[in-house]
Amino acid sequence: MNGWIEDQVKAVIGGENLAIAQTVIDIAEEVGKLPAQVALNWIRHQSDGIIPIIGSRKLQQIQENIASLEFDLTPEQLKRLDDISSIELGFPHDFLKSDRVQNFAFGGVIKQLDLRVR
């Protein structure tokens, strides 16, 4: 892109979002898949409570999206995607995740529980 167009795109979409998109594209090229397939595969790894909803209009799109189940991203690739897209949650999240508050909220037995927090 030329400089002016790139500046306009960044102004609308945001530089952080463009960096995320570029990382998805880079990893898609590494694994020989479509960026949408990489994005769907990555979303599946976020949490047990997250189920991607695909909005396909054509059979080809459905097939491409389902193909995101046919490969695995490496831990390094997942980390790159997580790192580039991370956001600082701030208060109250950081406060509630602190050891002192967690210990108080769970009556001093937090270390004995299997919470499987990601």
Running along the chain, 118 residues long, what does each successive block of 10 average in pLDDT?
A: 74 85 97 97 86 88 94 97 92 88 85 66
Residue 61: the pLDDT is: 94
Residues 20, 75 within the same domain? yes
Q: pTM to 2 decimals?
A: 0.70
Residue 118: the pLDDT is: 46
Domain range for 82 is: 3-87
Give the integer Cα–Cα distance in Å for 101 and 107.
10
Residues 35, 72 within the same domain? yes
Residues 15, 31 within the same domain? yes
Number of domains into which the chain is organized: 2
Q: Which residues contact 56 (CB under 8 A, 6 or more apart)?
A: 62, 65
Residue 103: the pLDDT is: 85
